[in-house]
Amino acid sequence: MKITRRSLVDRALKGSLLALTFKVGGASLLLTPAEARAQDVPLQKLSAEQARRLGVLAEGMVPGSEELGVVHFLDHQLNADPNEALLIAKYFQVAPPYLNFYARGLEVANGMSQSATGKSIEELDAAALEQLIASMAPPGTVVEEFPIFLFYLCLRSDAIDVVYGTPDGFARLNVPYMQHIMPPEGWNG
């Protein structure tokens, strides 16, 4: 297919940058992570507890990310081939499978929460959650031999992706998207 600017713009007007193929009841549906969350699409990799904690942490880092489906985005990508994965963790030389990194990060973060407050992440009030995140954020922070700063950096970036990295996110910032081309409908992420 010959690519011209016009054809690119035409195609760009269709679909969403973060539309992924989710499995629902044996069928494949092209949904945004926000739609997958709203439709309560079953998670493939994350447990319910992990999903709750990830959602709370991500929301504390980047407000709006939970509703925009950061947990479904992560769950979908944790299922992907490492070379095809859309997670920024790969840029930070995290060794696949990436689920191990996220699961351990959640364990350590929850341990930090328990040590500081006696509560799990999902039980924290806003001030305590902010305190927990602030304790993960200093560059180079390692807890229980785990690079919790790196986990913070990756999860914060994942959350920024779903809030600010899409055409809607650009619009929220009044930044022209100026796309050449977007993933076509049915393109399997």
Partner 1 sequence: MAKVLEPVDTVVVGTGAAGSLMAAVLAEGGKSVVVLERGKARKMEDLYSSQIWARRLKWGSPHVADAGPDSIWFNFNAGHGYGGAAIHHYAVWPRYHEDDFEENSRYGRSLDWPFSYDELRPYYDQVQEEVGMAGDAEKEIWRPPGDPYPLPPVLVSNHGQVLARGFEAMDMHTAPIPMAILTRPYKGRPACIWDGWCDAGCPIGALANPLAIYLPRAQKAGARLQPNAHVTRVMMDKSGKKATGVEYYTPEGEAFIQPAKAVVLCAFTVENSRILLNSADSNHPNGVGNSSETLGRYLMAHPAIGVTGLFDEDMQNYLGATGGQLLSQDMFDKKGDPNGAFGSRQWEIGLALKPNDMLGIGMTRPDIFGAKLEAFMQDGARHMGSMVGVCEDEPLITNRIELSSQKDAFGFPLAKVVYEMSAEGRKLWQTAAKEGVDIFKAAGAREAWHGPPGGQHIMGGTIMGKDPASSVLNGHGQAHDVDNLFVGGPGVFPTSSSINSTFTAKAMAMKSARYMVDNWSALSG
| Binding site residues, partner 1, CB under 8 A | 1, 3-5, 8, 12, 17-18, 60-63, 81-88, 90-93, 95-96, 130, 133, 137-139, 152-153, 156-157, 160-161, 164-166, 169-170, 173-183, 189
Q: Which amino acid is at 74?
A: L
Round to whole Å and give the CA distance between 76 and 84: 12
Strands (E) across the chain are located at 20-24, 27-31
> Minimum Å distance from CB 50 to partner 1?
20
| DSSP three-state, residue 189 | coil
> Minimum Å distance from CB 4 to partner 1?
8
DSSP state for residue 128 in the 8-state scheme: H
Q: 108 vs 162, which CB is nearer to partner 1? A: 162
Q: 138 vs 186, which CB is nearer to partner 1? A: 138
Q: 47 vs 142, which CB is nearer to partner 1? A: 142
Say what the alpha-carbon torsion angle 86, 33, 25, 84 is, to the nearest 10 degrees: -10
> Minimum Å distance from CB 78 to partner 1?
13
| DSSP three-state, residue 23 | strand
Task: Count the alpha carbons within 13 Å of 181 in the hemisphere toward its beta carbon.
Answer: 11
Q: 111 vs 189, which CB is nearer to partner 1? A: 189
Smallest CA-to-CA distance from 23 within 45, 49, 47 is with 45
> Minimum Å distance from CB 1 to partner 1?
6
> Minimum Å distance from CB 170 to partner 1?
7
Q: 47 vs 134, which CB is nearer to partner 1? A: 134
> Minimum Å distance from CB 27 to partner 1?
23
Q: 5 vs 26, which CB is nearer to partner 1? A: 5
Smallest CA-to-CA distance from 115 within 102, 124, 104, 103 is with 124
